């Protein structure tokens, strides 16, 4: 069993190395395959796996403290491995046989990806079909992390119109993964197309999902993950703003300061970036504690609703904070700050891309409806 203290030690070694090459990898479009494998080999996907299964048994807040640091080091990597962390949360609500099957794969260093959702249909429509004999045909987009994965989670619709979930090894015949994601940000998340060309699904590869009768802790966890990526981006923007002001920027001609770090407007910009990064991180960690309370309370429906609302609030704060922090980076330098070689625009591009996963206006509206009328948040994976 690997302890939480040991995982923190391994993280402290790996994250600086990950951060050192992040900007250059994005400029040269070098997919972080080795970096993701290093995270898996260090068992940094196993924070939440219970000790009886060989994991550290960490709480939700403890794993999110790490995830913010991971996103600060490289938000592309953090987003690409979201499915690996999400699957652990699903397994914590699943049957013991499922845990016994999949937790050892984590401890062996396997990586999990996702290819669930599609484009072109309204309201999350799934058009990929699975026949009664387990043959799947269709096309997916937003296949986050699939190119890096050993196992890929997918969803299709059966002959009765019901969604069916399953997990396939990435080398299954007929499963085609394309590196064609063309987003303005998060370019190295490998979130491109997955094609299923008459792919065969074996009986043991189907995944049982909890029914829709109640709220699951998995949804809030996965949504808070997006907020943690935003918080990490804000922290990275702060680090780059400080470094640029100290090492590269020079005062404007009519400034009374001899150094950029003494310019009051540069100080104001860095101070505001710092405050916004602090707000994003604080909101994420507070919301993580609400998910922990729900687990401690036996997943009581009221505590789960409270966690869902807190996560929605944290998402709103984290998105707003990251976008503004990423914009303010350019206020610490002059014209040279926009040079492509510095790649300072990656923070805003990445924050904007993550923000588009689930519109923050809906987060605020759902929270407002709950506060005003007691309306329950939607029972889906977006809350």
What pTM was computed for the model?
Answer: 0.95
Answer whether 48's CB lies under 8 Å from 88's CB: yes
- Residue 28 reports pLDDT greater than 90: yes
Structural domains of the chain, count: 3
- Flag whether 213 is in a domain: no
**Whether residue 351 sits in one domain with residue 228:** yes
- Say which DSSP state 122 is in: S
**Whether residue 353 sits in one domain with residue 267:** yes
**Whether residue 281 sits in one domain with residue 183:** no
pLDDT recorded at residue 380 = 85
- Say which DSSP state 119 is in: S
For 24, residues 6+ apart whose C-beta sits below 8 A from its C-beta are 30, 343
Over residues 37-55, mean pLDDT: 97
- Mean pLDDT score across all residues of the chain: 93
The partner residues of 115 in beta bridges, in order of sequence, read 154
309: containing domain: 218-373
pLDDT (tens digit per residue) in 233-251: 999 999 999 999 999 877 7
Q: Which of 110, 140, 167 is the last residue of a domain?
A: 110
Contacts 24+ apart (CB under 8 A), 361-368: 363/312, 363/313, 363/315, 363/316, 364/312, 364/316, 366/309, 366/312, 367/309, 367/312, 367/313, 367/316
Q: Which residue has the higher pLDDT, 255 or 17?
A: 17
**Whether residue 265 sits in one domain with residue 194:** no
């Amino acid at each position: 069993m690997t302890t939480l203290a040991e995982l923190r030690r391994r993280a402290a070694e790996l994250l600086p190395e990950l951060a050192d090459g992040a900007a250059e990898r994005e400029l040269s479009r070098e997919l972080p395959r080795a970096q993701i494998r290093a995270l898996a080999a260090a068992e940094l996907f196993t924070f939440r796996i219970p000790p009886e299964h060989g994991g550290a048994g960490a709480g939700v807040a403890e794993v999110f403290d790490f995830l913010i640091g991971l996103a600060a080091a490289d938000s592309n990597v953090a987003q690409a491995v979201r499915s690996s962390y999400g699957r652990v949360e699903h397994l914590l609500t699943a049957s013991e046989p499922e845990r016994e099957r999949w937790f050892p794969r984590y401890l062996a260093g396997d990586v999990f990806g996702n290819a669930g959702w599609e484009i072109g249909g309204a309201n999350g429509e799934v058009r990929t079909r699975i026949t009664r004999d387990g043959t799947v045909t269709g096309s997916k987009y937003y296949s986050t992390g699939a190119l890096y994965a050993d196992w890929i989670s997918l969803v299709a619709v059966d002959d009765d119109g019901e969604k069916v979930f399953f997990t396939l090894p990435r080398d299954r015949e007929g499963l085609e993964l394309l590196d064609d994601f063309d987003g303005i940000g998060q370019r190295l998340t490998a979130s491109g197309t997955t094609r299923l060309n008459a792919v065969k699904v074996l009986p043991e590869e189907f995944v049982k999902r909890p029914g829709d009768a109640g709220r699951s802790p998995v949804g809030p966890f996965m949504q808070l993950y997006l907020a943690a990526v935003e918080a990490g981006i804000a922290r990275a923007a702060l680090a780059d703003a400080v470094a640029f002001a100290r090492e590269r920027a020079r005062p404007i001609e009519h400034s009374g300061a001899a150094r950029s770090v003494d310019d009051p407007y540069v100080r104001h910009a860095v101070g505001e970036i710092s405050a916004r990064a602090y707000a994003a991180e604080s909101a994420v960690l507070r919301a993580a504690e609400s998910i922990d309370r729900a687990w401690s309370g036996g997943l009581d429906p009221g505590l789960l609703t409270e966690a869902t609302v807190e996560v929605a609030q944290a998402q709103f704060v984290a998105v707003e904070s990251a976008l503004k922090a990423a914009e303010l980076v350019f206020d610490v330098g002059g014209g040279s700050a926009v040079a492509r070689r510095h790649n300072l625009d990656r923070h805003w591009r990445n924050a904007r891309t993550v923000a588009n996963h689930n519109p923050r206006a809906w987060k605020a509206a759902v929270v407002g409806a709950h506060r005003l009328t007691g309306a329950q948040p939607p029972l889906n994976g977006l809350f």
